[in-house]
Chain A
Amino acid sequence: MDPAYSIIVFTTASGAGYGLLVLASLLAIGGVLPPTTGLGLATLGAAAALIAVGLSSSALHLGRPERALGAFSQGRSSWLAREGVAAVATFAPLGLFGIGWVFFNDVGGIFAWMAAACALLALLTVSCTAMIYASLKPIRQWRNGFVLPAYLALGLYSGSLLLVLLTRAFGVYRPAFALLAVILLGVAWAIKWGYWRHIDAAPAQVHLGAVTGLGQLGQVRLLEAPHTEANFVMREMGYAIARAHARKLRVVVHVALFLAPLALLGVVADGPPIPAQSASLLAVLSAALGVSVERWLFFAEARHVSILFYDRAV
């Protein structure tokens, strides 16, 4: 599948934003994060900004973005519509929770309920994003049990790195935050490892002979394509550039998204303040690069059944 940059930015940025929102909401309810104005503004502001940047970026993918409001109407059947509704709905409790935290320095009572709603809706939104992909039958690299947990784990893990960075900056850091990040890192790493093992091992569902129904007559090969130039289907579904470099790019993901932040979190957890702050910033930057490559691969390694008709492997 063609890795559109607008969707890569959308899923990674909003994933991190929602992840940060979930963690900040729950930790604020639990009294672990102090309800100070600066911390609230930075934390919820960063989460809201990442979500807003992501959603705006997703609109760039549309052929007719001016009609995007129509996309909230079909939640009964469409995961994309559900995602849109959940994403926008999150802003209501986020706004109220933010008012409580930033202006009244109060995260109890009604504001605690708002925080809980934030966390729930944020998890729901990320789940809907994942299900858009995991529900598509023609793409076996997407329709499997690893996609939903991977999106959730990577969103929460990205959020936890931001949480470490922000709490360090505001002097309310606790070692438990780095530990939380390491745990989420481990979970996300294990899921991605399993995902790649799965898509490498699972055989293709169908081949050209099966999809055309001609296989029983013998080996089928494309003699002449329907047209000389690449069409929409071939450009959108037949993206082949990443295949050659997939192995190397997976190594980049392992290093930038997981290994380097793991080492840097070690410095964060048990170092003097200045290197620790630099390390937490580096961990965020490294993971941002890593998760972008991870998402790019998620698209580029996905192969669509329709491309079989053009006699290309799925």
Chain B
Amino acid sequence: MTDLPAAPAAIQLGLVVDLDACVGCHACATSCKEWNTGGHWGPLTDVNAYEAEQRGVWFNRVFTYEVGGRREDARTIHFPKACLHCENPQCVTVCPTGASYKRAADGIVLVDVDRCIGCKLCAWACPYGAREFDEDQGVMKKCTLCVDRIYNDNLAVADRAPVCVLTCPTTARHFGDFNDPQSNVSRLVRERGGFDLAPELGYRPTSKYLPSRSRRSAPREASQPDAADAARDYVGGFLRWVDRALSR
């Protein structure tokens, strides 16, 4: 079972994370925790949940980076990170029990928590830090791509997607089939220059990141203020915001 599927999957499901749109609200992370703690692979246990040194399992974590240091075009980039459902997942092949597996049907990487012995070797084999050990249950857990939602006939069709994707208020997360060149995710990757994390390690992650785009406007102080601009200074509050928005 820890052998990878012999042939590439017909469909390869994964996520696209738009670093340009993410505002770092952590809604994807908290909704993930909420769904998965009550879902098929739950609970995602917490230790010391209401006191110091809280420890618990999360499938999705949002980092915030500062890029560009003290340069004028420095920016803040929010960076959600979960399992990338790699095409070449070493976390699967190192598993001694067959608890870790990559589904031949859709490429999702899962852990069978009833077979896992908690040796943690899969976490060592993952360069993305996507697997977390559930110390309460003694087994490894990871993102399931909400496999208990996406095929769930009890949910409305619109709700059959990973909960992080549905929750995101800025549509920074997209879900789809990367083997279909016409899918939304394939199109986004093509048009926006989607990239792999650490491609040199050879894990061939399925999920991609869309780069943070450069700022669209030229430096404003370069333009000469004319009389109309001077008059605008008397406008304040909401109207000033409208003026600026329309002037772009």
- Residues A212 and B117 in contact, CB atoms below 8 Å apart: no
Chain B hits for A270, CB < 8 A: none
Which residue of chain A is the closest to B60 with respect to CB atoms?
A: A226
Chain A hits for B66, CB < 8 A: 220-223
In the complex, whether A98 has a CB less than 8 A from a CB of chain B is no
Q: Which residues B74-106 have CB closer than 8 A to chain A?
A: 74-77, 79, 81, 90, 92-99
C-alpha gap A227/B81 in the complex (Å): 13
Chain A hits for B67, CB < 8 A: 214, 217-220
Chain B hits for A84, CB < 8 A: 96
- Residues B95 and A78 in contact, CB atoms below 8 Å apart: yes
In the complex, whether B180 has a CB less than 8 A from a CB of chain A is no
- Residues B55 and A62 in contact, CB atoms below 8 Å apart: no
Q: SS class of chain A's interface: helix, strand, loop or mixed?
A: mixed
Which listed residue (A135, A219, A222) contacts B69, Cβ 8 A?
A219
Task: Please choose the segment from B129-137, B152-160, B163-171, B224-232 that sits at the chain A interface, where 4 or more of its residues have CB less than 8 A away.
Answer: B129-137
Q: Which residues B195-216 have CB closer than 8 A to chain A?
A: 195-198, 200-203, 209, 211-212
Chain A hits for B133, CB < 8 A: 63, 232, 236
Q: Which residues B1-57 have CB closer than 8 A to chain A?
A: 1-4, 19, 24, 26, 29, 53-57
Chain B hits for A77, CB < 8 A: 2-4, 92-95
**Interface residue count on the B side (C-beta < 8 Å):** 73
Chain A hits for B3, CB < 8 A: 74, 76-77
In the complex, whether A161 has a CB less than 8 A from a CB of chain B is no
- Residues B2 and A74 in contact, CB atoms below 8 Å apart: yes
C-alpha gap A81/B204 in the complex (Å): 25
In the complex, whether A137 has a CB less than 8 A from a CB of chain B is yes
C-alpha gap A213/B201 in the complex (Å): 13
Q: Residues 193-218 of chain A: 1 if any B CB is under 8 Å from the residue's CB, otherwise 0? A: 00000000000011010111110011
Which listed residue (A63, A236, A304) contacts B137, Cβ 8 A?
A63
Report the minimum CB–CB distance from A288 to chain B (whole Å).
Answer: 25
In the complex, whether A171 has a CB less than 8 A from a CB of chain B is no
In the complex, whether B147 has a CB less than 8 A from a CB of chain A is no
- Residues B129 and A237 in contact, CB atoms below 8 Å apart: yes
In the complex, whether B187 has a CB less than 8 A from a CB of chain A is no
C-alpha gap A78/B94 in the complex (Å): 4
In the complex, whether B241 has a CB less than 8 A from a CB of chain A is no
Chain B hits for A206, CB < 8 A: 198, 200-201
Report the minimum CB–CB distance from B152 to chain A (whole Å).
Answer: 28
Q: Which residues A135-156 have CB closer than 8 A to chain B?
A: 135-139
Which listed residue (A213, A217, A222, A306) contacts B127, Cβ 8 A?
A306
Write 22 A-B pairs (CB below 8 A) sorted by A numbering. Answer: A61-B119, A63-B134, A63-B140, A67-B116, A72-B96, A74-B1, A74-B3, A76-B2, A77-B3, A77-B92, A78-B2, A81-B96, A137-B203, A138-B201, A213-B211, A217-B212, A223-B76, A224-B63, A226-B29, A232-B123, A232-B132, A305-B201
| Nearest 8 pairs of A and B residues by beta carbon | A63-B118, A63-B138, A306-B129, A218-B68, A226-B61, A81-B96, A138-B127, A70-B97
Query: Which residues of A approach B to under 8 Å, CB–CB?
Result: 1, 61-65, 67-68, 70-74, 76-81, 84, 132, 135-139, 205-206, 208, 210-214, 217-227, 229-233, 236-237, 304-307, 309-310
